[in-house]
Structure 1
Amino acid sequence: MSSYISRLLKSSFPSKRLVSQLTPRGEGKLGALLRQLGLQKMLGVFGSKEGTGQRGITTTAVVAQKMLTDDMELATGLFKRELKLRQAGNEDPWTMAKPLKRGAGRENDPTEIPSAFDGRLVGCLCLGDRGPKWMWLEKGAPKRCECGHYYVLKKADPI
C-alpha cells in the first residue's frame, strides 16, 4: 500500500487506474487518506462530492415545435406591406424585375418614370455608351439626357 501512496504523491495528476488500484470507487479509504495528507482538492478529480451537497437533476418534458415562425408575424413596416402585396398576387411590387423601356422620348412625348416622391434617380442607357448616364429627375417639366432623350416624373401610389 505504501508504494501506491508514494506513486500517488509523486504524480502531478494521478490517473484513474492508479486510483482504482487503491480503492474501487475513489472514495472511502482514499478520501480519508487524501484528507489526512491535505489533498482535498484531488477528491473533485475522482468524482467525489465529499463536503459538498449533492445536486439533484430534474428534467421536464419539452414539446418541440417542428414549425418555424411565419415571416408575416415577424415583419414590420415596408417589408410587411411588400409581403401583403406578394400574397395578393403582385410578385413585383417595386417594378424592378425588368427595366423600363424608353418611349418616344421627344419633348412633347417624354418617357414617364413612376415615383411616389418628388424626385428620383434615373439612369439612361444611351446608345454607344458602356454604362448608364445618371441624372436626378424632379417633379415638373421634362428633363433631357445627354443623348437627347426626355424624361418626366409620373405620380405613382406609394406601397
Structure 2
Amino acid sequence: MSTTEGQVLEFELGEETYCVSIDYVTEIVDVGDLTTVPNAPRHVEGVMDLRGRTTSIVNPKSVFGIGDGGAEQRIIVFDPEIVEDQSAAGWLVDEVDQVVQISDEQVDDSPAADSDGSIRGVVKRDDDFVIWVDPRVVHSN
C-alpha cells in the first residue's frame, strides 16, 4: 500500500463527509452565476468565469449517486493539471469543513463497491468516517 500521509480538505455532500488531497485544490469560492451548457453530461452543472478562465462546475452528487439533500454553497476549484484536457474544473459542494493531516493508520483501503477507482479509501476519524475521493479519476471518466 502506498503512503497516504498528507493533508486533505474535508467537505460535505448531503449527509456525508468527503475529502480530497489538498494538493489538487487551488481555491475555494462561493457559488456564483452558472451558465448552463446544452447537451453537457448530467454531472456538469454549468460553467462560470473564475479569474478570466472558463471553469466547468461538476456536481459530485451526480457522480457518486448521492441524493440532492443539502444546499450547494461552495465550489472547490481544482488544479487544471488533474483534469485530462487541462481545463479548469470545480466541484459544487454543500459546505467546506477543514483541512486535516492524516496518516496511514487512519486510512482503510477503498471499499469493494468502488469499481472505477474514484475512492482512494476511508479515513477513520473519531467515531466517524470520511470518504477520500480522487478527483483525477472522476475527471478522467
TM bucket normalised to smaller: under 0.3
Larger relative contact order (C-alpha < 8 A, sep ≥ 6)? 2
Which has the larger strand fraction?
Answer: 2
Give the structure-1-normalised TM-score.
0.16
Q: Which has the higher Rg, Structure 1 or Structure 2?
A: 1
